[in-house]
């Protein structure tokens, strides 16, 4: 019944989730490489 309203919202929500997941993944990778560098430096 509320499809015209629900569908774009769902699309936006999915897009937002994917973007946040990508950002989180990027920060985790960045953090991992940074901690590796710190470990290599202190070793």
Q: Which domain holds residue 23?
A: 1-43
Per residue in 1-40, pLDDT (tens digit) is 556 667 788 888 899 999 999 999 988 888 888 877 777 7
Instruction: Round to whole Å and give the CA distance between 27 and 37.
Output: 15
Contacts of 23 (CB under 8 A, 6+ apart): none
Domain count, the chain: 1
pTM strictly above 0.75: no
């Amino acid at each position: 019944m509320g499809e015209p309203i629900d569908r774009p919202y769902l699309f936006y929500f999915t897009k937002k989730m994917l973007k946040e997941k990508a950002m989180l993944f990027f920060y985790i990778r960045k953090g991992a490489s940074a901690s590796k560098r710190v470990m290599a430096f202190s070793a």
